[in-house]
């Protein structure tokens, strides 16, 4: 069984931090996706990155292609990290995983994120618009990954790396293809929405529909770029997160 340190990576532990920011990766992504934020994130925030199975420090774990099983595994390890106020940030698939985990925390009466940031994702209860890609032949699957611009070319062009990573990537996309969210849960926390101005696969109304499952109406922030706008505009995104931390988290803490 994976340890908490493997499932939730704290790349720069800070016992004195006032709060934490949990970052959930997109399909095919891993914990290291957010390590570049370390020097930009608010000094009172400790970064916690979610490590998906079958990659990074969990390379020996079997891939997971089922949302319920994935959330169960995250839930089993998160409790020690809920001793401080925190924020959830998820990009694309990561937003849905974060929402399902927050919903599970809510059902079990555990502390919820003070703020939830959903990036480049339609609301979890909307049907998936894109055709499934997890069962495509290798050549077509890699070509589809390349068109999404989320996986570095050096990885896509490496037979060895793709042979190692493709099972986990396929599992992520199968998880998305089979996932059916629900609009019945309304989380009593505040929402912020982020997206790219040229994300052709995502309608603004589909992002705004997230408001149906959060008590705090969410503002929509649009950044220049496509589905992976955060690759080019990570600094601007972190600056927004830092402003939210100041306004929505630190301002609420006892002085």
Active site residues: 92
From the number of C-beta atoms within 10 Å of its C-beta (0-12, 13-18, 19+), residue 255 rates as exposed
* Contact between 142 and 156 (Cβ < 8 Å): yes
Cα(104)–Cα(84) distance, integer angstroms? 18
Sign of CA dihedral 111, 114, 116, 117: negative
**Which tokens is 75 given?**
């839930």
Long-range pairs for 129-133 at CB < 8 Å and ≥24 separation?
A: 129/201, 129/206, 130/201, 132/173, 132/174, 132/177, 133/173
Sheet containing 86-91: order of strands? 8-9, 45-50, 19-24, 86-91, 115-119, 187-196, 214-223
Paired residues of 119 in beta bridges: 91, 194
């Amino acid at each position: 069984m994976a340890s908490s340190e493997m499932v939730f990576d704290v790349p720069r532990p800070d016992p004195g931090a006032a709060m934490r920011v949990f970052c959930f990766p997109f399909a095919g992504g891993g914990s290291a996706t957010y390590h570049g934020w370390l020097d930009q994130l608010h000094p009172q925030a400790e970064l916690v990155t979610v490590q998906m199975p079958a990659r990074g420090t969990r390379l020996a774990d079997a891939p997971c292609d089922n949302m319920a099983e994935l959330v169960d595994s995250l839930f089993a390890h998160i409790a020690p990290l809920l001793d401080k106020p925190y924020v959830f940030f998820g990009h694309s698939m990561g937003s849905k995983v974060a929402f399902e985990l927050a919903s599970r925390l809510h059902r079990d009466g555990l502390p919820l994120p003070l703020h939830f940031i959903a990036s480049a994702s339609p609301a979890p209860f909307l049907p998936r618009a894109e055709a499934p890609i997890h069962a495509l032949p290798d050549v077509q699957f890699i070509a589809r990954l390349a068109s999404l611009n989320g996986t570095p070319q050096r990885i896509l062009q490496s037979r060895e790396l793709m042979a190692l990573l493709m099972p986990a990537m396929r599992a992520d996309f199968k998880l998305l293809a089979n996932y059916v969210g629900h609009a019945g849960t309304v989380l009593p926390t505040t929402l912020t929405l982020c997206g790219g101005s040229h994300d052709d696969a995502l309608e603004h109304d589909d992002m705004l529909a997230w408001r149906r499952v959060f008590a705090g109406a969410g503002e929509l922030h649009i950044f220049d770029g496509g589905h992976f706008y955060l690759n080019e505009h990570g600094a601007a995104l972190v600056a927004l997160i830092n402003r939210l931390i100041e306004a929505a988290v630190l301002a609420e803490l006892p002085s």
